[in-house]
Amino acid sequence: MDTTTRATIYLESSLHNALRLKAVTTHRSISDIVNEAVRETLREDQEDLAAIEARGKEESIGYEAFLKKLKADGTL
Protein backbone atom coordinates (compact mmCIF):
# COMPACT_ATOMS: atom_id res chain seq x y z
CA MET A 1 0.00 0.00 0.00
CA ASP A 2 1.20 3.51 -0.81
CA THR A 3 1.75 5.95 1.97
CA THR A 4 -1.27 8.08 2.66
CA THR A 5 -1.60 11.83 2.45
CA ARG A 6 -4.12 13.77 4.44
CA ALA A 7 -6.44 15.89 2.30
CA THR A 8 -9.35 18.12 3.10
CA ILE A 9 -12.37 17.79 0.83
CA TYR A 10 -15.80 19.33 1.12
CA LEU A 11 -18.74 17.00 0.48
CA GLU A 12 -22.40 17.74 0.23
CA SER A 13 -24.10 16.70 3.46
CA SER A 14 -26.16 14.02 1.73
CA LEU A 15 -23.05 12.49 0.13
CA HIS A 16 -21.23 12.48 3.45
CA ASN A 17 -24.18 10.78 5.13
CA ALA A 18 -24.32 8.18 2.36
CA LEU A 19 -20.59 7.53 2.70
CA ARG A 20 -20.85 7.16 6.47
CA LEU A 21 -23.71 4.67 6.10
CA LYS A 22 -21.85 2.70 3.45
CA ALA A 23 -18.72 2.65 5.60
CA VAL A 24 -20.66 1.27 8.56
CA THR A 25 -22.56 -1.35 6.57
CA THR A 26 -19.48 -2.55 4.66
CA HIS A 27 -17.09 -2.36 7.64
CA ARG A 28 -14.75 -0.09 5.69
CA SER A 29 -13.47 3.40 6.27
CA ILE A 30 -14.70 6.42 4.36
CA SER A 31 -11.12 6.83 3.11
CA ASP A 32 -11.13 3.31 1.65
CA ILE A 33 -14.41 3.96 -0.15
CA VAL A 34 -13.25 7.34 -1.51
CA ASN A 35 -9.87 5.90 -2.61
CA GLU A 36 -11.65 3.09 -4.46
CA ALA A 37 -14.03 5.53 -6.16
CA VAL A 38 -11.20 7.82 -7.25
CA ARG A 39 -9.15 4.86 -8.55
CA GLU A 40 -12.13 3.60 -10.55
CA THR A 41 -12.81 7.05 -12.00
CA LEU A 42 -9.17 7.46 -13.05
CA ARG A 43 -9.19 3.94 -14.56
CA GLU A 44 -12.32 4.80 -16.58
CA ASP A 45 -10.70 8.05 -17.75
CA GLN A 46 -7.63 6.09 -18.89
CA GLU A 47 -9.83 3.64 -20.80
CA ASP A 48 -11.69 6.53 -22.45
CA LEU A 49 -8.43 8.22 -23.46
CA ALA A 50 -7.11 4.96 -24.92
CA ALA A 51 -10.32 4.52 -26.93
CA ILE A 52 -10.09 8.09 -28.23
CA GLU A 53 -6.47 7.56 -29.23
CA ALA A 54 -7.29 4.27 -30.96
CA ARG A 55 -10.09 5.91 -32.93
CA GLY A 56 -8.14 9.08 -33.66
CA LYS A 57 -7.21 8.05 -37.17
CA GLU A 58 -10.76 7.18 -38.17
CA GLU A 59 -12.38 9.36 -40.77
CA SER A 60 -14.77 11.84 -39.22
CA ILE A 61 -18.23 12.48 -40.58
CA GLY A 62 -20.39 15.56 -40.18
CA TYR A 63 -23.80 15.51 -38.53
CA GLU A 64 -25.74 16.12 -41.75
CA ALA A 65 -23.79 13.43 -43.61
CA PHE A 66 -24.40 11.01 -40.75
CA LEU A 67 -28.15 11.67 -40.88
CA LYS A 68 -28.13 11.07 -44.65
CA LYS A 69 -26.29 7.78 -44.08
CA LEU A 70 -28.84 6.69 -41.47
CA LYS A 71 -31.66 7.56 -43.85
CA ALA A 72 -29.98 5.69 -46.71
CA ASP A 73 -29.51 2.64 -44.46
CA GLY A 74 -33.20 2.74 -43.54
CA THR A 75 -32.48 3.50 -39.90
CA LEU A 76 -34.38 6.80 -40.11
Per-domain residue ranges of the chain:
13-72
Contact indicator for 37, 19 with CB cutoff of 8 Å: no
**Would you state the pLDDT for residue 17?**
98
**Would you state the pLDDT for residue 2?**
80
pLDDT in tens, the chain (76 residues): 689 999 999 999 999 999 999 999 999 999 999 999 999 999 999 999 999 999 888 888 999 999 999 999 999 9
Q: Which residues contact 34 (CB under 8 A, 6 or more apart)?
A: 9, 19
Element (H, E) at 15: helix 13-26
**Would you state the pLDDT for residue 18?**
98
